Structures are given as structure tokens and as C-alpha cells.
Amino acid sequence: MSDITKLLKTIIFSAVVILAGCDQSRANEYSGGNLGAINHVPGQSINWFKVNDYRVPGTGGGYCCIMLPNKWRPNLTAHIEWEIDPNPREKIPRLKEGVGFEPKALAQHEAKYRRYSADVPIPEYDDACGLTVHFLTCQQVKVTASCLSPSLPDYPIKEPIDMQEPATCPK
């Protein structure tokens, strides 16, 4: 066998091995998507939240990125951590000179912030379009990977936007 034939066989064999390694199941593939949030509780502000350690400032537009499996699988969950300001409209004295707030007054305001965490199921999806976290009353959260707009009737989370906290929260 000539050296060229041996070299060609080695190259072909190596290519087959390499390409076989690239043929992984779609279940193990991930794609990036935006993280968004909707606050359903008027009178409180979400200062920041994290989903599986991906941090987002507040509940504004979508922020990049969270990695989600391309194919949903049973028992898929998200660990959510968040901080709320229960009185975001409180008047905090400003500095007499320069920009900002009086440090003592700001510290007193920030001492009222509350932090929570929850593990929630990620509902089944065909195509993931990022993840939207819904902050509900009683420090409850729901998530969806739906591609639909929240204003559409088929959107999976049905809770109203302006929910009032009940007198007592379920345990």
C-alpha cells in the first residue's frame, strides 16, 4: 500500500470519527434567548432578578441572555432570585450639593428592600423564545418560554397585570 493511500485512509477515518462526534442529540443542545419580566403587583418595584444566575436589572425590556435547551424535557426548572422595593415612590431626600441621595436616608430606604427566591417549573415548549418571568402576589413567580405576546389570548399566563395583594398569603 502506498504512502498516499495510507494517508488518505487515515484522513478519511479521522474525518468520520470527528463528524460522528458532532452528531449529538438535539436534547443536549442549547440556544440563547432574552430574559424578560412582567410585574403584576402595583406599588412594588423589582430592583433586579436572576434566573439560574443570569442577572437582569429590573423588569424593563428583554435582556440577553439565558441558555435554554432546544428541546424541552420533563422536570425542567428555573431558580429565580429577586429583590423588591416595596415603596418605590418614597421621597428620599437628595444631596444639597451634587447629585444623588442623602446617604443615611438612602440606607434607611434600602433597608426595606426584600429578597426572595423560588424554584419554578418551566412549562413545556416546542420552540423556546427566551424566558419571561411573571412576578405575582405573595412572592409567587411563574415563567414561560412562549413566543407569543402577553397581550394575545393564547398567551399561557393568564393572571391580570394589576393584582392586589390578599390580606393573607397561602402557605
pTM of the model: 0.78
Query: What's the whole-number mean pLDDT along residues 95-113?
Result: 93
Lowest mean pLDDT among 57-66, 127-136, 146-155: 57-66
How far apart CA 9 and CA 38 sit, in angstroms, is 58
> Among 15-29, 77-91, 115-129, whose mean pLDDT is lowest?
15-29
Average pLDDT over every residue of 124-151? 92
Contacts of 65 (CB under 8 A, 6+ apart): 32, 33, 34, 35, 54
* Buried b or exposed e, range 17-45, using 16+ CB within 10 angstroms: eeeeeeeeeeeeeeeebebbbbbbbeebb
The string of pLDDT tens digits covering residues 46-89 is: 999 999 998 888 766 667 888 999 999 999 999 999 999 998 99
The C-alpha cell at 95 is 444631596
**What residues pair up with 80 in beta bridges, in sequence order?**
51, 118
The pLDDT of residue 157: 95
> What confidence category does residue 127 fall into, taking pLDDT thresholds of 50, 70 and 90?
confident
Residue 4 C-alpha from the chain's centroid: 55
